[in-house]
Amino acid sequence: MQNFMVVLGLVLKAEPIGEYDRRVVLLTREKGKITVFARGARRQNNRFLATTTPFCFGEFKLFAGQNSYSLSEANITNYFEGVRSDFELAFYGMYFLEMADYYARENSDEKQLLKLLYQSLTALTHPTLERDFVKMIYEIKAIMINGEFPGVPEQRDDLSGADRAIRHLWDTPAQNVYSFRVSEAVQKELSERCEEIRKRVIDKEFKSLEMLNSLKPDSEEQ
């Protein structure tokens, strides 16, 4: 009897294997981060050609082998075309994927990270949300989910605007993190604090972030 399972997930990255296959990394609700092999996915007109690329979200039916997973079926419900089709948004999105790949672990509970990633990719195309605001919120909440955000302030009446925002993010489920706004001054303070914390707790240079920053020649290197 073949050992099949269905997972809900999002493609973080895909790499060529052999002449026609792909190795796909999924962030899933059920298994955390897993690697899946898609046989023949790079052949023209193959049914997995479009469904095994970054940003694809949906259900994946997998055959669980002794040491690896193989893709059997894919039902994609969101390709995030609005992100993929915009040159700058695509770099924001790739950075979100790369950061999720950095944090996620196999066979770990990554439900909150998956919810955050999905909501953040959705928020990138929201007409009233600034892209850098979305990026900042994603970074802060991702670091919180991983248990590395230092100095979350206690709830008090005299908190600064930035501390109130941080406390709000700490208390808010990942799927609701974009339900509030801050002033320009608070956003600037939060962004500076987030950048400092990210550099302190993450020991990786994200290639997608470097590319994103290169699109903003008038801004300081982050």
User: Percentage of the chain with pLDDT > 90?
Assistant: 86
Quote the CA–CA distance of 87 and 197 in Å, as a whole number: 28
pLDDT band, residue 221 (cuts 50/70/90):
very low
pLDDT of residue 2: 64
pLDDT band, residue 222 (cuts 50/70/90):
very low
Contact 29, 113 (CB under 8 A): no
Residue 110, φ and ψ in degrees, nearest 5: -115, 25
State the DSSP code for 192.
H
HSE (CB half, 13 Å, CA atoms) of 148? 15
pLDDT band, residue 217 (cuts 50/70/90):
low
pLDDT exceeds cutoff 80 at 220: no
Condensed to tens digits (0 to 9), the pLDDT of residues 74-114 reads 999 999 999 999 999 999 999 999 999 999 998 899 999 99
pLDDT band, residue 153 (cuts 50/70/90):
confident
Least confident span in 4-8, 59-63, 125-129, 154-158? 154-158
CATH topology of domain 4-78: OB fold (Dihydrolipoamide Acetyltransferase, E2P) (2.40.50)
CA dihedral 207, 200, 171, 79 (to 10 degrees): 10
Quick one: three-class SS letters along 149-176? CCCCCCCCCCCCHHHHHHHHHHHCCHHH
pLDDT of residue 12: 98
Condensed to tens digits (0 to 9), the pLDDT of residues 35-56 reads 999 999 999 999 999 999 999 9
Q: Does domain 81-214 have CATH number 1.20.1440?
A: yes
| Domain range summary for the chain, segments of one domain joined by + | 4-78, 81-214
pTM: 0.93
